[in-house]
Chain A
Amino acid sequence: NAGVTQTPKFRVLKTGQSMTLLCAQDMNHEYMYWYRQDPGMGLRLIHYSVGEGTTAKGEVPDGYNVSRLKKQNFLLGLESAAPSQTSVYFCASSSAGGGTYEQYFGPGTRLTVT
């Protein structure tokens, strides 16, 4: 049981390049989330999904797209990377959305855009 895994762990992009971050969970969770963590800002929600085939915007969705084609995977895409997207990206999952359900986090992807 690996929990929540993220690929890649590190990436350096040039401005304007595109990339996709992959999140996978093996806990059969319905809900999945993408957060970014920036110094002095805390973690902020980018997008989330409440089930296979669904996605919704979070607090800071601009410049990102997501897809949830399979229940266990949640992809975060950057179509045209900007230096402001330099951050650490965390994926999380939970079995449902109610108050009794913990969110479990992956190890993070450290992205630098030059």
Chain B
Amino acid sequence: KQEVTQIPAALSVPEGENLVLNCSFTDSAIYNLQWFRQDPGKGLTSLLLIQSSQREQTSGRLNASLDKSSGRSTLYIAASQPGDSATYLCAVKGGTALIFGKGTTLSVSS
């Protein structure tokens, strides 16, 4: 059974720092991996999708990498801002559904 783990569970950084969020999964047979952002009391916003054949995707200050063979993905956030404060969820698609990690809650202080 696929399991997705995100470390750390919570992270606090000062504004301007570059940071890395980690995601690991146990079964490398995936179609894709998605990173989402969730603000308190809100829905999920898709940030990046990496297909299984890709190594990384970039969007603005965000860069996500995928190493399928080792079952790892990282989300790199450059020059963090207070507006980046949210919970970041990683999800892998092995069949029809997404399997989610429990998320990393990021707090960026000004």
**Residues of A in contact with B (beta carbons under 8 Å apart):** 31, 33, 40-45, 48, 50, 56, 58-59, 90, 92, 97-100, 102-108, 110
Across the two chains, which residue of chain B brings its CB closest to A6? B43
Question: Once the chains are docked, how many angstroms separate the CA of A90 from the CA of B41?
Answer: 12
Q: Is the CB of B43 within 8 A of A40?
A: no
- Which one of B42, B46, B96 contacts A104 once the chains associate, using CB atoms below 8 Å? B46
> In the complex the two chains form, is B96's CB within 8 Å of A31's CB?
yes
Count A-B pairs with CB separation below 8 Å.
Answer: 55
Interface centre among B30, B46, B52 (most CB of A within 10 A): B46
Binding site for A on B (CB under 8 A): 4, 30-32, 34, 36, 41-46, 49, 51-52, 89, 91, 93, 96-98, 100-103
Q: Are B97 and A48 in contact (CB under 8 A)?
A: yes
A48: which of B91, B96, B102 is its contact (CB, 8 Å)?
B96
Q: What are 16 residue pairs bridging A and B, where the CB atoms are less than 8 Å apart in the complex? A: A40-B102, A42-B4, A42-B102, A43-B89, A43-B98, A45-B98, A48-B96, A99-B32, A99-B93, A100-B51, A102-B34, A103-B98, A104-B46, A105-B36, A105-B44, A107-B42
Tell me whether chain B's interface is mostly helix, strand or loop, or mixed. strand
Q: Are B34 and A42 in contact (CB-based, < 8 A)?
A: no
Asked if A42 and B97 sit within 8 Å, CB to CB, the answer is no
**Whose C-beta in chain A lies nearest to the C-beta of B98?**
A103
